[in-house]
Every structure is written in structure tokens, then in C-alpha cells.
Amino acid sequence: MSEPVLTETETKTEEKKIIWSKKERDASKETYGCEIIVENGSKQDIHTREAPTDSLIVTYEFDGETHQDLTRGTRVSIFDMYYDKFKKGLKKIDYGNGTIKPNLWGYQTQGPKKKKRK
């Protein structure tokens, strides 16, 4: 009997571990002024150029595995946020590879204005 052949998409369908809960992510914006853009992302996700220039790559250890997040905020506030959650598991904070201006991050253009009738 022959075994079924797995396609490339079926072999890469592993679930990502959720480390930050929705409540923690929302609280981080209020408490620390930080925004987690990519949580527990792959190397390709983390090193994207489609991110703001002020984003930082945070490397940390959780449950014996090394993880990386792409986060916005000041270096000090990001350190405080990750140290409060992971303590000694925080490994390093590096600059991200984003190329989008921070004030244009998440900017959505408005639709065309309606012309006024005279």
C-alpha cells in the first residue's frame, strides 16, 4: 500500500503557541505604551520590511523554547513589559527591519469626497 503524499502546505500547518492573551495585549498598550505587531513569529515574519521603522525584535525563552516578537514602543518600556512577564527569559532586544514611517503605520486613506451641489 502506498502512503498519501503530503503537500507543502499540509506539512507547514503547525499551530503557533499563543503566549500573550488578548487581555495582556490590550493592557500592554495602556500600561507600557507598547504594541505587539507579530507574536511568536517565524524568522520571515519577524524580519519583514512591511513594519514601522521604530519596531524592535524581542527574543525570549518561554517553556524551554526560544521565541521572537516584533514590537513597537520605546526600548525601556519594551524591556519593562517583557521582563515583568518572562523575568530571566528575556534574551535580547534588536532593531527591526521595517521601512514604513511610524506616523503612516496603519494609516488608511479616506474615500473620495462627495461633491457639493450648487
Residue 114 lies in a domain: no
Residue 58 lies in a domain: yes
Q: Provide the number of structural domains found in the chain.
A: 1
* Residues 10-55 pLDDT 10s: 434 456 778 888 898 888 889 999 999 999 889 999 999 999 999 9
* Residues 62-94 pLDDT 10s: 888 999 999 999 999 999 999 999 988 999 999
Task: Quote the pLDDT of residue 9.
Answer: 42
Residue 13 lies in a domain: no
Task: Quote the pLDDT of residue 83.
Answer: 93
Residue 2 lies in a domain: no
Residue 92 lies in a domain: yes
Least Cα distance to 69 among 17, 31, 2 occurs for 17
Task: Say if residues 54 and 102 touch (Cβ distance below 8 Å).
Answer: yes
Residue 34 lies in a domain: yes
Residue 53 lies in a domain: yes
Task: Quote the pLDDT of residue 108.
Answer: 66
Task: Quote the pLDDT of residue 105.
Answer: 81
Domain boundaries, position 76: 28-98
